[in-house]
Amino acid sequence: MPKKGLIERLDSGVVIGDGGFVFALEKRGYVKAGPWTPEATVENPEAVRQLHREFLRAGSDVMQTFTFYASDDKLQNRGNEAQKKYTGAMINQQACEIAREVANEGDALVAGGISQTPTYLNGLGKEAVQKEFEKQLKVFVDNKVDFMIAEYFEHVEEIVWAVESIKQKCPGMPIAANMCIGPEGDMHGVSAGECAVRMAKAGADVIGINCHFDPDTVLAALRLMKEALTKAGFKKHLMAQPLGFKTPDASKQGFIDLPEFPFGLEPRILTRWDCHRYAREAYDLGVRYIGACCGFEPYHVRAIAEELQKERGCLPTGSEKHGQWGDGLRQHTKPWVRARARRDYWENLKPASGRPYCASMSKPDEWGVTQGDAMLKQQAQKTTDEDLQKLYKK
């Protein structure tokens, strides 16, 4: 029997996305923070495959190809060695094969993914940016992915170009468009609501937000998007793929501006119970594509699937090893731990950080640098010590 497509699934129920490959694989030692090395699909395919499997087991309905930042221009940025060995097409091809293999082990769909480009930050214009996208899109079309996700765009101008390219090069494929913005809108000052309307006008079928902010912030911004879409007469499905980190103190640029990014974020990680609340609040807001981004591990996705058990009519395979709301603790040896085998205990727990000198909030960097600023331009050479000295002084 052919698998049901994305829109059909969203029309009749809820779709659960997968988690953050870049952060998860970095922690496992297969991805380097900085260039975020998507060549892991070629260098360590078994690690990528295993993570897909864990998300599938946790309840993900979508295997998103691990192609984040796998455009040729990104591969040659700031001394990145990858482009000497691989083309973006090679990395994307391998990512498609791995995602399809695992998707077919269950009922999951494969989504191809493109993201923002250094070419855009360099101010090289629409034609050059779309050329980068189109090289990636060719691989996704050849591999017949089920739908496309344009994600992690900070500027609505660039995501509109991305959606237009997908529409043109991938005829008939549903398009999900996700910006990495919060309630303050994009980096050029376009409001969140206006961003959503422009994505809809460009032809996106599913509209949402990924990365940069925690579930609370993402849902607050999605509420603004929903209002603006309704007002403009659009009826589109909404999508959320937030961070697995708490970011109430992040400013417009999201967690990138937090001093803990990217190596000290652990005290901010969501608990599985936070994910229950996120799934419920997203569903109640009308979001039907409920997924995740950086920081989300398979057990977080399993919590989403468990919260939405009634709506989906099933539990994920991964729940075989997880009693609902702590139920498995009935089998614990210690009586005080057995006493925690109840929903209200975990639902109301305020977990301590164990760090007495750790503030609950940080002060974001807020350099306010974005597209149009010389400091963001791409260069082929690695950053020198001298360059760094200048940055330290800023």
- Using DSSP, state whether 44 is helix, strand or coil: coil
Between 24 and 47, CB nearer to Zn ion: 24
Token readout for 227 is: 């209002």
The interaxial angle of helices 156-169 and 192-202, nearest 10 deg, is: 20
Least distance between Zn ion and beta carbon 72 (Å): 21
Are the CB atoms for 170 and 148 separated by under 8 Å?
yes
Least distance between Zn ion and beta carbon 269 (Å): 14
Binding site for Zn ion (CB under 5 A): 211, 293-294
Between 109 and 293, CB nearer to Zn ion: 293
Between 215 and 326, CB nearer to Zn ion: 215
- Does residue 211 have a known ligand-binding role? yes
- Does residue 96 have a known ligand-binding role? no
Least distance between Zn ion and beta carbon 338 (Å): 38
Token readout for 283 is: 């569903």
Q: Any residues with CB less than 8 A from the CB of 340 and at least 6 apart, and which?
A: 326, 329, 346
Q: What share of the chain is helix, strand, coil (3-state, %, to 5)?
A: 50, 10, 40
- Does residue 358 have a known ligand-binding role? no
Least distance between Zn ion and beta carbon 222 (Å): 16
Between 263 and 336, CB nearer to Zn ion: 263
- Using DSSP, state whether 342 is helix, strand or coil: coil
Token readout for 179 is: 């910006």
Least distance between Zn ion and beta carbon 198 (Å): 22
Are the CB atoms for 176 and 289 separated by under 8 Å?
yes
Between 193 and 254, CB nearer to Zn ion: 254
Q: Please name the residue that has the structure tokens 């020198």.
A: 384
- Mark the binding-site residues, compressed into ranges: 211, 293-294
Q: List residues forming the annotated binding site for Zn(2+).
A: 211, 293-294
